[in-house]
Amino acid sequence: MKKIYSGKAKDVFEKNENEVVIYFKDDATAGNGAKHAIIEGKGILNNKITDLIFKHLMSKGIETHFISKLSDREQLVKKVTIIPLEVILRNYSAGSFSKRYGVKEGKKFKEPTFEISYKEDALNDPLLNKDHAIAMEIVDEKEYEEIKSKSKEINKILTSLFERAGIILVDFKLEFGKDKEGKIVLADEFSPDNCRLWDSKTLKKLDKDNFRNDLGNLISSYEIVLERLTNVK
């Protein structure tokens, strides 16, 4: 299969005209690639967690690119054109929000916040507002509103799922793509690499902040997330 894209944590191969294979690597990066390490087994865990989350979302009516999990590290997905937006939902303050606005980590928001950045590594993924995204012709107004309402719906479904797993969903990043018919579907992955997850009782961090801030063993945290999600009734 021809490799058509090599990302920081995943590679993408062309299967045929309509389908691609995503390969989950063990690379961990932070600060737009400034910090890098290979963490043995991370790709396998992220593939399993993404498989579980996408299947759950689809069972609740969310349309995604996901077709099937092929192996420990591979997924078959529908070929889409990724919309170059990093869509971020926040239920609590943390990370860049805390830093930018001087808000202590862990403030629970009355309403989830929705924000978008321009997905462009060379520019360091700059923050955008709706007008900017429309001016740059990344989306039109209708598409912007569709992405916003889909993201909020996904947040509701996943906040409830994680709550049942004894985990607080603090924030997360989504990416959307357009399929051949121009339909907007959820793409990319959903794993502890691109969300913040805190243990509901101890508030222990179970996500990539363990790597970003050298807090502890990343793999054991990701294993806890997978095990708890697997056991949700």
Task: Quickly count helices (H) and strands (E) in the chain.
Answer: 6, 14
The contact mask relative to ligand UDP for 71-110 (x = CB under 6 A, - = no) is ---------------x-x-----xxxx-------------
**Which 189-208 residues touch ligand UDP, going by CB under 6 A?**
194-196, 208
The contact mask relative to ligand UDP for 153-192 (x = CB under 6 A, - = no) is ------------------xxx-------------------
18 vs 129 by CB, closer to ligand UDP = 129
Q: Residue 50: what residue type? A: T
Q: Which residues contact 156 (CB under 8 A, 6 or more apart)?
A: none
47 vs 194 by CB, closer to ligand UDP = 194
Helix (H) or strand (E) holding 117: strand 108-118
Residue carrying the six token digits 């989306």: 139
> Could you tell me the smallest distance in angstroms from the CB atom of residue 1 to ligand UDP?
26
Closest by Cα among 200, 201, 202, 197 to 221: 197
54 vs 97 by CB, closer to ligand UDP = 97
94 vs 158 by CB, closer to ligand UDP = 94
Closest by Cα among 98, 228, 83, 227 to 151: 83
Cα 152 from Cα 169, distance rounded (Å): 13
- Is 42 one of the binding residues for ligand UDP (CB under 6 A)? no
Q: How many positions of this chain bind ligand UDP (CB under 6 A)?
A: 14
| Closest residue to ligand UDP, based on beta-carbon distance | 95
Cα 196 from Cα 145, distance rounded (Å): 24
95 vs 166 by CB, closer to ligand UDP = 95
Q: Which two tokens stand for residue 137?
A: 């012709």
DSSP state of 194: S
143 vs 171 by CB, closer to ligand UDP = 171
> Could you tell me the smallest distance in angstroms from the CB atom of residue 17 to ligand UDP?
29
> Could you tell me the smallest distance in angstroms from the CB atom of residue 18 to ligand UDP?
27
Cα 30 from Cα 34, distance rounded (Å): 6
Helix (H) or strand (E) holding 101: helix 95-101
Residues at the interface with ligand UDP (CB under 6 A) = 86, 88, 94-97, 125, 171-173, 194-196, 208
